[in-house]
Amino acid sequence: MRLLERYIKEILNEEFRPDFKNRLVHALDQKSEEYNSKDEADKWYDMSDDFEKIAYGLGLRYIGGGASRRAYSTPDLDWVLKIAYNKDFYVWANKDEIDISQGEHSTGPRDIFVQTYSWDRVNDTPKWMIIEKVMTLGDASKELSIGDLAKVFPTFYDALEDCDLKRDPVLFCQYVSYVLTVISWNEEGPLSEEEFYEGLKEASMSRNVPQVKTIEEIRFGEDFRRLGRAYAFTRPYDMHDGNIGIRYNSFNSPQDIVILDYMLK
């Protein structure tokens, strides 16, 4: 049902607003050119505000924000406009992610990063980008069942002994995010089962007791392999539950795991 609903929305969207994304890109580029021809002393924040006005003018709404970017979309769109708004913090976040999307940090990170459709080519440091919309892990912890989550993160689920983390979607998602954080802190390099297991143990700790099976009992599945490919050459930093996402498919496969905010170390 969810798929059919989504399909109908996409058709309607294409039907009535075929050039919507192009109009947005055009308006943002025009605004950048306007600013760049003026040479104002501090145009940074004004430009971000003007971009936001353009987004609002076209009907987009704020859907979430972090330390350096804000995201805009509408319920019927399958993409998100991300605008950089913090001049003092990680201003090249968009640039790093565009490079990742183009495979400049190898194919593993490219494949786990959200699809990237369009970006700012006018400003030296890209101020906006348009990317695939996904469900953040934070939202998934409130909206998905533990059964759905177990299909997306089978190794994480299978590794657990019978405990609260295995029953409560919020606790389970916190544990997933913590494992990804722990292994992000390690040195770059191929992700071994042993290293992943150490992360699972640390993240599942309850009263100083890990809630996982022995390594021999765990079936390492496609989620482990997908993350391993991404973590082999560069480790994403800051893996909180707003930076990890799940694709809006039927929530049944590790192929749906994405990183939507890929901070390089």
Question: Residue numbers of the site for ligand ATP (CB under 6 A)?
Answer: 63-69, 71, 80, 82, 93, 114, 131-134, 136, 238, 242-243, 245, 260-261
- Cβ atoms of 101 and 109 within 8 Å: the answer is no
CA atoms of 117 and 21, how far apart (whole Å): 10
Q: Which does 133 bind (CB under 5 to 8 A by kind): Mg ion, ligand ATP, none?
A: ligand ATP
- Cβ atoms of 220 and 155 within 8 Å: the answer is yes
CA geometry: angle 236, 104, 193, nearest 5 deg? 40
- Does 261 interact with Mg ion (rule: CB under 5 A)? yes
Stretch that binds Mg ion, among 19-27, 72-80, 106-114, 235-243 (CB under 5 A): 235-243
Six token digits for residue 223:
């989620």
Q: Which does 134 bind (CB under 5 to 8 A by kind): Mg ion, ligand ATP, none?
A: ligand ATP
CA atoms of 169 and 153, how far apart (whole Å): 12
- Does 66 interact with Mg ion (rule: CB under 5 A)? yes
Six token digits for residue 108:
């593993």
What is the smallest separation between the CB atom of 102 and ligand ATP, expressed in angstroms?
A: 17
Q: Which does 93 bind (CB under 5 to 8 A by kind): Mg ion, ligand ATP, none?
A: ligand ATP
What is the smallest separation between the CB atom of 245 and ligand ATP, expressed in angstroms?
A: 6
Residue 49: partners with Cβ closer than 8 Å, 6 or more residues away: none
Q: Which helix (H) or strand (E) holds 246?
A: strand 244-246
Q: Which is nearer to ligand ATP, 68 or 141 (CB)?
A: 68
Q: Which is nearer to ligand ATP, 48 or 211 (CB)?
A: 48
